[in-house]
Amino acid sequence: MIKNIALDGPAGAGKSTIAKLIAKKLNYIYVDTGAMYRAMALFMLRRGVDINDEKAIIDAAKEAEIEIRYEDGVQCVILNGENVNDYIRTEEVSNAASKTSVVREVRERLVALQQSLAAKENVVMDGRDIGTKVLPDAYLKVFMTASADVRAKRRYDENISKGMECDLEQIKQEIIERDNRDTTRKESPLVKAWDAVELDTSEMSIEQVVEKIISMM
């Protein structure tokens, strides 16, 4: 029996770190849905598409072919044949993804891809609408949160450790703006599914969060 785990929550709540560790412990496949929205946004940026123009996004998206492959257990997002993992983690792409992901046509295609991955084997999938829309029958749904200050600091530390220059206050402002867009958009806004367990990780260590979620399985 397939026992999928849906992990939703705002940017910087720690979803991907936690999801990767859970996948390793339970021998599950980790599906990072944000990476798919990011690849779509990268496509638009490279094309010079105006990311505030919905019609232009819908037209351009028809030419973006997105696939997922796994290499040594790592998810690779393939955009028109190219592995774009190394290009989708910039703040520019983050902000663009939050805008292009409001478009229904973009979501429909990526949701279909996500559902087909989850139908084949056990997955731990993270995103914004996994428990509500992508996997409404998931075995376990967790809604992870943390304060905006904690999330901004985590993103800041992550960027610094990768040698990326950044400004803490600016990251916090961008997180707040992105939360606002993600929770108020018309298509699949970020909301807790009625049957999801809410977990505030502000004061929890990574290990504590992983143990807590595994104990719910």
Dihedral sign (CA 126, 132, 135, 140): positive
What would you report as the CA-atom Rg of the chain, rounded to the nearest whole angstrom? 16
Residues in region 40-69 near ligand DC by CB under 6 A:
none
Q: Which is nearer to ligand DC, 83 or 215 (CB)?
A: 83
At closest approach, how far in Å is the CB of 212 from ligand DC? 20
Choose, by CB under 6 A, the member of 4, 75, 85, 101 that binds ligand DC: 101
Q: Build a one-symbol-per-residue string for 129-168: x at contacts with ligand DC by CB under 6 A, - elsewhere.
A: x---------------------------------------
User: How many angstroms separate the CA atoms of 30 and 87, rounded?
Assistant: 19
Q: Does 97 bind ligand DC (CB under 6 A)?
A: yes
How buried is 167 (Cβ within 10 angstroms: 0-12 exposed, 13-18 middle, 19+ buried)? exposed
Residue with tokens 């609408």: 129
At closest approach, how far in Å is the CB of 60 from ligand DC? 17
Q: In which order are the strands placed within the sheet that holds 29-32?
A: 29-32, 123-127, 5-8, 140-145, 197-200
Choose, by CB under 6 A, the member of 5, 6, 7, 11 that binds ligand DC: 11
Closest CA to 140 of 126, 151, 156: 126
Q: Build a one-symbol-per-residue string for 21-40: x at contacts with ligand DC by CB under 6 A, - elsewhere.
A: ------------xx--xx--
At closest approach, how far in Å is the CB of 181 from ligand DC? 7
Q: Build a one-symbol-per-residue string for 176-205: x at contacts with ligand DC by CB under 6 A, - elsewhere.
A: --x---x-----------------------
Closest CA to 174 of 151, 145, 143, 200: 151
Q: Which is nearer to ligand DC, 19 or 210 (CB)?
A: 19
Axis crossing angle, helix 54-61 with helix 104-120, rounded to the nearest 10: 40
User: How many angstroms separate the CA atoms of 51 and 94, rounded?
Assistant: 12
At closest approach, how far in Å is the CB of 206 from ligand DC? 17
Q: Which residues bind ligand DC (CB under 6 A)?
A: 11, 33-34, 37-38, 94, 97-98, 101, 127-129, 178, 182
